[in-house]
Structure 1
């Protein structure tokens, strides 16, 4: 049976529908011949073949490493190495290079027939990826043999760059784990490991010319407890740190090369430099003293861009980095560099004057251009975060657009090579579930479905411009990932979704099919001892307008055979609870709990949603200023009956960057009102400040308004629930005005930058 790319559109659609209803035995048979990431072409045959001790393996000398890798993988299952036979014969595993038949770089053909299993590759990387696919297809048959379904795969990657980033500055991980991490990247056909080696909280690479980077910069005196938004900050007072020796780095580089993974090293500059400044304070604008950071964030103390010693330091560091990493690219950071110290630094201001620069922004451009030019002189190319575009870099620099898709689009239009890395889609330090018991994460919400749905080549680019999109990458920032198990929990299976974005033809992507493969694939991840997130079929919800303005809540799960049962009184749902068969009418305040049942057992976590009914639910609302950035949500969320969580990751909080909140609500008719409320966030360590003043106004005609409440000082750290009561009035229109503080005040975190005003549910009764 042929499925995927071999099917015409009609038959493919029919198959996708049919997959939901076919028998478990047939479904298991189909998923047993499936690969992640999805191949370009896959065809299942009839029956299967065994890999037993009688099977031999055949490969030429140039494929000896791949042949030994395959043989060792077989032994890990069966306990037996296959005999190597250089003559063609039946019952044989055959590895073969053929760039004529397999035309695409890194491409392979895998053919599983009665008499042999053939892996043919365009190059050695193609052979390696063919082996990875075969390993996903086999299963233990007897104690010393494997079973593989017959069939054929023809495959090659969509993008040349398929990357995963890992920050070891905040928390570092053992060399053994790094090798396991590289193994996992290789299995899913990633070919770049972006190793983020320096940060404010720790310098993790040995630089022999600067020994204090090891003795001072690699260590911090303690680490913040909990999320940085919580105040006051508390610390564990446990000295934390370490670094990778140059010998260890060479070991990891060699290991990665054996798995066809390039390592992209990153040395942050000119910002995120506090750890380095702690060791060498003369490299900062003030001369210190400085201290390796104990908490997370962006710090004003950065490398002094006016100091020639800084450039010598960076060149010396890069010389040793280049000697360790053979990859053609070096990442030089460039992100989140405050210019506050530069504004008041005599050396920086002199550098601006000497070079005819306009401002501190162009000074950063000068800094990055010098470093880029130096790398080019050493036969290396620079990679930078998208901020490097603001100060100006040459088109030799590859751009990683972390702040959103638009910067990547703009860079591609300007003919920069781009690696798409938007944080709102591909950062795996974001929450993957809205369950309130999830371990603390950086913030925001990026479930598996959102990752899978990302398309890195926007329709707004012409074919010529789209050619500058060279690949895609996931980000792993480790502030809240203290150990290796937690890191795996946050990254997998979202990394598997990313692998299909990076490798597979976008026309062959199908989320229900991916999930079915993933359910089957859990045994494979268990064997590799991956502590993956197992709740990817959890219940999700959506509130929609219903009849007569009364909203309804819909529940769904991606698990095809599951039933949802729910309660409305806050109790835990059981087998006798109401079966979900359609939208739930939200005509009163309630707490809805729902469970996913497979057979007679509840599976996964209990879904929980509180709903607050009030007079303005689903009423018309308009905003004078649009919400901004990743908090740019529809105004209607302010009147949907759901109060945002203190983690502000549930897409309920609207954020106004430097602007006021000005909301106008039309109740549709004269309505008695005596209570108005709103929730606002105060998290200064997230640059989120409660409004300096809140005003509630009411009107009969929408022209003349009467103020019924005015107040300030909403400085409780966290959610401030502002509630006002006044004598009953018949009104139709209401205004809610929250005055943004504008800029973060002197001494505040992010001093001088635009402050966020974060608002959620407006409550009217």
Structure 2
């Protein structure tokens, strides 16, 4: 299959590529919308799949895709002798130029000097210039031209120049090569769709050092994201130095993790570090919006200053993820305390918006407190939801007095949204719809779609996170403006952001794995006009971005292109099997069966591969230019391994569901085994297991910390009667209440972080059956989990499928 200019394209006298449609005729230049009609999208997909195609006919790899782009035939060569020109005194242009030069050194090995030149507008090599009359008048917009005279970037504001430089960097890094590069002739007129293009990073659960925060800010800038929502406080840690209240970090920034040998965990940012990070972000045209959570998620603060809590008790900083009961008090002492905290927050963060949380504030403590109830009566407040609205409005009024705006999670709608508040909708999109209809500004951040702590794939080699898989495609296809809003209501949609919650992301590499490349999808969703976005075209531009990630050392996920393997023994041939290979997204899969690594010359997968056992099969996906899109996955197949079922084959049981994938220890900072757990039901379903010839079952598992704040869901945890002191893993056939096939007593040593290996005999059965495994361990104390189930034959010590 070959794509060329003679099949779908017609060359014009000016030498540009013209797509012939009723919409565009044969006029030149073409608009980006015309470029991405069906034939071009098919061409992009064909290029990704590895078919021959004309590189000049594909969209340049700029992510997010510009609002308008014209591509013409030809290109301008940028060599090591090139210069970046700016006018003397044009500070905004100089800043953008130096940022571009730094990126090119790091990723292309091109060291281009920035030269102040009074005649910079005459073109030549690269010119960056402020231009009050630039044709793109929108804030943050820019114009980028490449023709025979060189590369020119001009804009009306500094942000526009910066984003133009980012697009130029992407044009200059289309592949993994180093040194000189030819940039295609293009005309770009670009501006963002939304003003709020955000990413939230939770550092309260797991602390990110300042250098790692800056790495994330750099990546955001390179994706034209401009709001960094910094979740600084929660039950599990207070990460911001407040000089008036030093115990907030002396006590509130540290917790004692579960486990006999665990050391105190924590950290915080000094005010000097915060100022440095805020300035670093501002230089990249990113606004830092701090979040100080209230009235709930207050346990770390109450641990430091018990008098601002409700009960008068002195809790420890929480080690439990989820929803904890501690609330701030509603007396004037606590209100003043929080106003004083906000004074220092506002001094550190110049952002217009200050985020005050407002989510998951269960009202049990307020309901049980005679003092709080008396306060409600004195204020004429009827219920605790209205009390939260009053509390939030007190903070909103205080911020407004200082020229700031309050924003909170959509729970602040409960009890009546305070007049001064803006709403960030996380419980789906309904909160944004309701708030916009009431005339409040909104930011879309719905779970699960834009919760990047959800896994990107179902493979067993995905790290820890939430088990609601949110793929690259899911994020890309998210529409920021709910269809139910009128045009006037839609004006209240400021934009969208993704959230990286860190309960299960213990280390910086895990945060990067969660963020990339879904950050690319997010960026295009909030920058590019909706009718210009096409997923297959986006995929075709993604391999070049992977090259850039490699050069920058970003630990991105390859989940979209990772090869999954399923093997099934051939009927009637116990020494043979058929192996099926697949990927989330279309790509060329190449494989080997001799243990070697697959390469560009390895066989292409097109149908299930018949193999003789034992065999080692390796597979990887590739793009048109030979770029390996994902690391090779390798599987040893023999009589034993065909009987092993890992987390890829686990499903939730009808009475519950697998909720999270967790590490062996909750604060482990090095790679560790992970386990899929159902905190409520402790049950796993293994669908359609072949039981022919099986005589033994082996389960590898672990005792995990039961560090989950379940609040009102605690009563839902399933209790099952045990027959042994520590409980057992019961295995049933066909249904969880079906025949008992095996009972494996759990070990008495139930310290979090310890593993176990249990084996039991299995009654002779034939055919394929659903198998259910559940735990009868006590529902208080450590949580039992399974990582792998093996069905085998005791006589041969080998597993059967």
TM-score tier by shorter-chain length is 0.7 to 0.9
Q: Would you say how many aligned residue pairs link Structure 1 and Structure 2?
A: 701
Cα displacement (A) at 1:381: 1.1
Q: Which of the residues 86, 104, 120 maps onto 1:58?
A: 86
2:413 is paired with a residue of what secondary structure? helix
Residues 522/301 of structure 1: CA separation in 2 closer, same or farther (3 Å cut) = same
- Within 2, Cα distance between the matches of 1:34 and 1:600? 15
> Cα RMSD over matched residues?
5.5
| Structure 2 counterpart of 1:81 | 114
- Within 2, Cα distance between the matches of 1:486 and 1:492? 10
Q: Does 1:7 align with 2:23?
A: no
Q: Which of the residues 61, 69, 74 maps onto 2:96?
A: 69
Q: Does 1:536 align with 2:569?
A: no
TM-score (norm 1): 0.74
Moved more, 573-582 or 2-11: 573-582
- Within 1, Cα distance between the matches of 2:386 and 2:343? 26
Q: Does 1:555 align with 2:555?
A: no
| Structure 1 counterpart of 2:718 | 690
Cα displacement (A) at 1:627: 8.4
Cα displacement (A) at 1:134: 0.5
- Within 2, Cα distance between the matches of 1:38 and 1:264? 26
2:536 is paired with a residue of what secondary structure? helix
Matches within 5 A, 1:207-246: 207-218=242-253, 220-224=254-258, 236-245=262-271
Q: Which of the residues 312, 317, 335 maps onto 2:359?
A: 335
| Structure 1 counterpart of 2:290 | 265
2:153 is paired with a residue of what secondary structure? strand
Moved more, 151-160 or 9-18: 9-18
- Within 2, Cα distance between the matches of 1:47 and 1:22? 24
Q: Does 1:320 align with 2:344?
A: yes
| Structure 2 counterpart of 1:119 | 153
| Structure 1 counterpart of 2:691 | none
Q: Which of the residues 136, 141, 165 maps onto 2:200?
A: 165
Cα displacement (A) at 1:525: 2.1
- Within 1, Cα distance between the matches of 2:36 and 2:537? 17
Matches within 5 A, 1:594-605: 595-596=619-620, 604-605=631-632
Q: Does 1:206 align with 2:241?
A: yes
Cα displacement (A) at 1:265: 0.8
| Structure 1 counterpart of 2:166 | 132
Runs (5+) with no aligned partner, structure 1: 225-232, 544-551, 614-622, 632-644, 664-680, 699-705, 729-733, 739-743, 750-760
| Structure 2 counterpart of 1:524 | 548
| Structure 2 counterpart of 1:255 | 280
Moved more, 407-416 or 183-192: 407-416
- Within 1, Cα distance between the matches of 2:375 and 2:309? 15
Larger RCO (CA under 8 A, 6+ residues apart):
2
- Within 2, Cα distance between the matches of 1:714 and 1:366? 53
- Within 2, Cα distance between the matches of 1:68 and 1:600? 33
Cα displacement (A) at 1:131: 1.0
1:319 is paired with a residue of what secondary structure? helix
- Within 2, Cα distance between the matches of 1:533 and 1:526? 12
- Within 1, Cα distance between the matches of 2:627 and 2:322? 50
CA deviations on 1:235-293 (whole Å, 9 max, x unpaired) are 61245323322x22222222222211111011011122122112211111222222222
CA deviations on 1:119-160 (whole Å, 9 max, x unpaired) are 122422112111110111114999986643321111111111
Matches within 5 A, 1:440-451: 440-451=464-475
1:267 is paired with a residue of what secondary structure? strand
Runs (5+) with no aligned partner, structure 2: 1-16, 18-29, 568-578, 645-652, 661-672, 686-701, 711-715, 723-729, 783-788, 790-801
CA deviations on 1:524-564 (whole Å, 9 max, x unpaired) are 22333322224531135899xxxxxxxx9883453533236
1:424 is paired with a residue of what secondary structure? coil
The answer on whether the counterparts of 2:442 and 2:492 sit within 8 Å (CA) in structure 1 is yes
The answer on whether the counterparts of 2:423 and 2:431 sit within 8 Å (CA) in structure 1 is no
Residues 143/241 of structure 1: CA separation in 2 closer, same or farther (3 Å cut) = closer
Cα displacement (A) at 1:493: 1.6
Q: Does 1:433 align with 2:457?
A: yes
The answer on whether the counterparts of 2:466 and 2:659 sit within 8 Å (CA) in structure 1 is no
Residues 450/254 of structure 1: CA separation in 2 closer, same or farther (3 Å cut) = same
1:461 is paired with a residue of what secondary structure? coil
Q: Does 1:386 align with 2:399?
A: no
| Structure 1 counterpart of 2:669 | none
1:562 is paired with a residue of what secondary structure? strand
1:82 is paired with a residue of what secondary structure? strand
The answer on whether the counterparts of 1:693 and 1:713 sit within 8 Å (CA) in structure 2 is no
- Within 2, Cα distance between the matches of 1:161 and 1:68? 23
Residues 17/277 of structure 1: CA separation in 2 closer, same or farther (3 Å cut) = closer
- Within 2, Cα distance between the matches of 1:446 and 1:420? 16
- Within 2, Cα distance between the matches of 1:338 and 1:349? 15
The answer on whether the counterparts of 2:174 and 2:544 sit within 8 Å (CA) in structure 1 is no
